[in-house]
Every structure is written in C-alpha cells, then in structure tokens.
C-alpha cells in the first residue's frame, strides 16, 4: 500500500511546505509518523545535499535507525527501504525524521508498505517550540567518546542527530509535540554568527520562515496559525560575539550600546512571535536560556536583563540557568549532557505550568 505525502494517515511535526511535489522539510526534527501492518516500510524522497554525509533518521516500534541518502541520488527522486523483516501481524509505529539542519533539504513524496496503513490519533499534553543554534539542533550529539571534550575533527555531520537534542528529549519527557526552529552557528542578527558564511544569516531572518536557507529555494513565510505552542524556548547567545564581516569574535557584550542593541534585536523577535500567538488567542510563556556549552557568562547577564525588560512589556518571560550552564564542555554537548539539560528544563517547564 502506498500513500501520498498529503494523506491524512500521516502525522507531521515541524514547519513543512506542501505543494504538488510533496512535503518539503528544512529544519531539524521535522518528522512524519504513521501506523501500519506489514513486514516492510519505505519512503520516496528527493534530497538536495549541501554538505556532509546525509542521513535521515527513523524510529520503528521504539527502535532507532538511520537511512543513508546516496550522493548519486542528489536532486533525484529515490525510494529507500527503512525497515524490513518485521512481524507481519503486528501494528507498527514508524517515524521518519530529519536528523540534520541546513546540511540538506528534502521532499517526501510518499510512504509505502507491503501491508496496509492504519489511521490513528496521537495525544499530547503540551505544545513546545524551540528557537536555537547547533545545540538545540542536536549537532555532534552522537560523538559519545568526546564527552566534555572538543568536537572530533572532520566529523562531516555524521554525529548530528536531532533525536538526541535536549529539545526533543524534553518533549518526550513531557509528552509534548514540538517544533524545532534551530540551526547551527546562528546568532540573532544577520551578519553575525557562523550560519551560512560569509554572508551569515541570523535568526531575525529565520524565525518566521519555513524555507530559510538559499540552497533549499526561495524563502517561504511560515503561517503561525498552523501551530500555536504553550511555551516557546529561545536559546541564542552562543554565537553572537562573532562578527562575520571581519571574521572576528569582536562583538563586545560588555559595551553598553552593543549590549542594548543585541537585547533590542532579540526582544523584537520574541515580541513579534508572542504578538502573533496572542492575536490567535493564546498568551504564551517564553523561556530564554543558553546551554552547557562553554561561553562568557556576561551573555547570560544580558539575557537576564532582556527577560526583565520583556516582563515589563507584559510578556510572560522566564530566564532559566542550567546547573552547569556555560561550563560543562568546550565542544558540543553529547547525549549524556543533552539528557542532563532535558531533565532540568523539563522540571522548569513543569514549575511554570503549575503557576499558570
């Protein structure tokens, strides 16, 4: 049995463009879930590779796996088997997901099993949304031999897996649906950070998009009415000291004018997002944070100031600090550190929900 990308039997998560070609995936953690009976499950995808060793992730009956996308199929429609030799009479749950961020974009056109797909209803207790950088995207999270150390050289994205990001982990802990608007190297402003060097793109040009990087096509605006979270988490500040115009880390958060300009830019994004949701009937909570990846704590002090200023504007803003904030590792957090962050953030989200 084959079903098209627009079948009601498919449950999507994440910002997706749908057109006559299929479901366009851009951000990490974007996924499609189906239930079926049969011995195999596969999918047809057209992938546009930018760099790295590209793989899509999947979960079949709780078992995690990956499907390497072949370089010779770049830009072409290709069918891949994700799982075979399954129990024929068992009801299976299959989730296909985007492990990586702007390393590639892809178009899912159909799913196929040798049995039949089954309708289902999923239930969530909470809706979350994350805006962040490489940590929130789960980049290099699978490099378990490098816990507390710098990243392995020439990893070529093979260790990237959004499934192990604290963003997805905390969502699983809280039985929450979530959108992950995260991208490695991103900062608040265009022309800063590391994403899409040398003409770097900031969150100010990404937060309201579905297609957000040039290699994936023309930018497309996101319709915020398609998904309204209860809580949005913002995790920027790690890359914002880098001025890509001069390729130096020379954005000085200690400078009064620089500090206020950065806070104002960050607040504009958050205020606009909160305003969009309020017009849709929901006044959401927002949490601002940085992660356990090492950084100058002065950025956290600036974030604390921004939170107080947002609260003064009537926004329900919170500043959360992990127990090892900015001090745990010089490289990207690995699975163990993401788990540590997820448990701490889940407890904070529970606290906020109880005082609502």
Mark 22-53 as b/e (b = at least 16 C-beta within 10 Å): bbbbbbbbbbbbbbbbbbbbbbbbbbebbeeb
CB neighbours of residue 308 within 10 Å: 11
Res. 145: pLDDT tops 90: yes
Q: How far is CA 353 from CA 44, 227, 332, 342, in A?
A: 40, 19, 29, 16
As a whole number of angstroms, the distance between CA 149 and CA 151 comes to 6
* 8: pLDDT strictly greater than 90: yes
Query: Do 131 and 276 belong together in one domain?
Result: yes
Residue-level pLDDT at 247: 79
Helix/strand/coil (H, E, C) string of the chain? CEEECCCCCCEEECCEEEECCEEEECCCCCEEEEEEECCCEEEEEEEEECCCCCEEEEEECCEEEEEECCHHHCCCEEEEEEECCCCCCCEEEEEEEECCCCCEEEEEEEEEECCEEECCCCCCCEEEEEEECHHHHCCCCCCHHHCCCCCCCCCCCCCCCHHHCHHHHHHHHCCEEEEEEECCCCCCCCCECCCCCCCCCCHHHCCCECCCCHHHCCCCECCHHHCCCCEEEEECCCCCCCECCCCECCCCCCCHHHHHHHHHHHHHHHHHHHHHHHHCCCCCEEEECCCCECCCCHHHHHHHHHHHHHHHCCCEEEECCCCCCCCCECCCCCHHHHHHHHHHHHHHHHHHHHCC
pLDDT in tens, 217-239: 999 999 999 999 999 999 999 99
Residues 151 and 262 in one domain: yes
Do 343 and 296 share a domain, yes or no?
A: yes
Query: What rounded mean pLDDT belongs to the chain?
Result: 97
Residues 342, 223 within the same domain: yes
Q: What percent of the chain has pLDDT over 90?
A: 96
Residues 103 and 142 placed together within one structural domain of the fold: no
Picking from 65, 85, 118, the residue at the C-terminal end of a domain is 118
Q: What is the mean pLDDT of residues 48-77?
A: 97
What is the per-residue burial (b if ≥16 Cβ within 10 Å, else e) of 260-280? eebbebbbebbbebbebbeee
Query: What digits encode the pLDDT tens for the residues 223-281?
Result: 999 999 999 999 999 999 999 888 788 899 999 999 999 999 999 999 999 999 999 99
Per the structure, how many domains does the chain have?
2
Same domain, 110 and 211: no
132 lies in the same domain as 95? no
* C-alpha torsion angle, residues 263, 267, 270, 272 (rounded to 10): -150
pTM score of the predicted model: 0.97
**Radius of gyration from C-alpha coordinates of the chain:** 20
Q: How far apart are CA 144 and CA 328, in angstroms?
A: 14
Mean pLDDT of 10-36: 98
| Total count of residues recorded for the chain | 356
Mean pLDDT confidence for 319-339? 98
Task: Please give the Cα distance from 40 to 82 (Å, whole number).
Answer: 8
| Domain at 317, CATH number | 3.40.50.1110
Which band of pLDDT confidence, cut at 50, 70 and 90, is reported for residue 154?
Answer: confident
Please give the Cα distance from 300 to 290 (Å, whole number).
7
Residues 198 and 334 in one domain: yes
Domain boundary among 93, 118, 143: 118
Domain end residue (candidates: 118, 136, 164): 118
Neighbours of 256 (CB within 10 A): 8
Give the domain extent around 187.
Answer: 126-354
Rounded distance between C-alpha atoms, residue 6 and residue 26, angstroms = 17
Report d(CA 51, CA 53) in Å as an integer: 7
Residues 259, 320 within the same domain: yes
- Which CATH number characterizes residue 7's domain? 2.60.120.260
- Of the pLDDT bands very low, low, confident and very high (cuts 50, 70, 90), residue 355 is confident
Measured between alpha carbons, how far is 172 from 104 in angstroms, rounded to an integer?
A: 25
Q: What is the β-pairing status of strands 2-4 and 31-37?
A: unpaired
Give percent of the chain with pLDDT exceeding 70.
100
- Examine residue 343 and say whether the peptide bond preceding it is cis (omega within 30 degrees of 0): no
In terms of domains, do 24 and 135 share one? no
Q: What is the pLDDT of residue 356?
A: 59
- Enter the tokens of residue 329: 């590792």
pLDDT tens-digit readout, 172-186: 999 999 999 999 999
């Amino acid at each position: 049995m084959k079903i098209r990308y627009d079948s009601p039997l498919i449950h999507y998560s994440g910002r997706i463009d749908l057109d006559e070609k299929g479901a366009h995936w851009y951000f990490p953690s974007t996924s499609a879930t189906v239930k079926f009976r049969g011995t195999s499950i596969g999918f047809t995808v057209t992938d546009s590779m930018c760099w790295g060793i590209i793989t899509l992730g999947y979960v079949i009956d709780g078992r995690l796996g990956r499907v390497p996308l072949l370089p010779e199929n770049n830009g072409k429609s290709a069918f891949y088997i994700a799982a075979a030799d399954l129990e024929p009479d068992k009801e299976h749950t299959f989730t296909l997901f985007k492990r990586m961020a702007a390393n590639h974009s892809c178009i899912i056109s159909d799913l196929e099993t040798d049995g039949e797909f089954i309708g289902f209803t999923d239930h969530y207790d909470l809706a979350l949304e994350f805006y962040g950088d490489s940590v929130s995207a789960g980049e290099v999270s699978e490099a378990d031999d490098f816990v507390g150390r710098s990243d392995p050289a020439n990893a070529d994205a093979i260790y990237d897996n959004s499934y192990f990001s604290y963003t997805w982990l905390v969502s699983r802990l809280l039985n929450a649906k979530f959108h992950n608007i995260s991208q490695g190297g991103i900062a608040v402003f265009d022309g800063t950070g590391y994403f899409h060097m040398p003409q770097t793109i900031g969150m100010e040009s990404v937060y309201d998009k579905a297609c957000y990087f040039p290699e994936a096509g023309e930018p497309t605006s996101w319709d915020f009415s398609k998904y309204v979270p209860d809580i949005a988490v913002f995790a920027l500040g790690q890359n914002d000291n880098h001025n890509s115009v001069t390729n130096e880390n020379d954005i000085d958060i200690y400078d009064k004018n620089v500090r206020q300009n950065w806070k104002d830019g960050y607040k504009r994004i958050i205020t606009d997002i909160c305003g969009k949701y309020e017009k849709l009937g929901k006044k959401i909570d927002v949490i601002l944070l940085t992660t356990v990846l090492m950084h100058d704590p002065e950025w956290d002090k600036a974030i604390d100031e921004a939170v107080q200023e947002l609260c003064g504007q009537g926004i329900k803003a919170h500043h959360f600090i992990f127990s090892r904030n900015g001090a745990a590792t010089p490289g990207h957090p690995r699975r163990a550190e993401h788990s540590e962050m997820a448990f701490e953030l889940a407890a904070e989200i529970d606290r906020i929900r109880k005082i609502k």
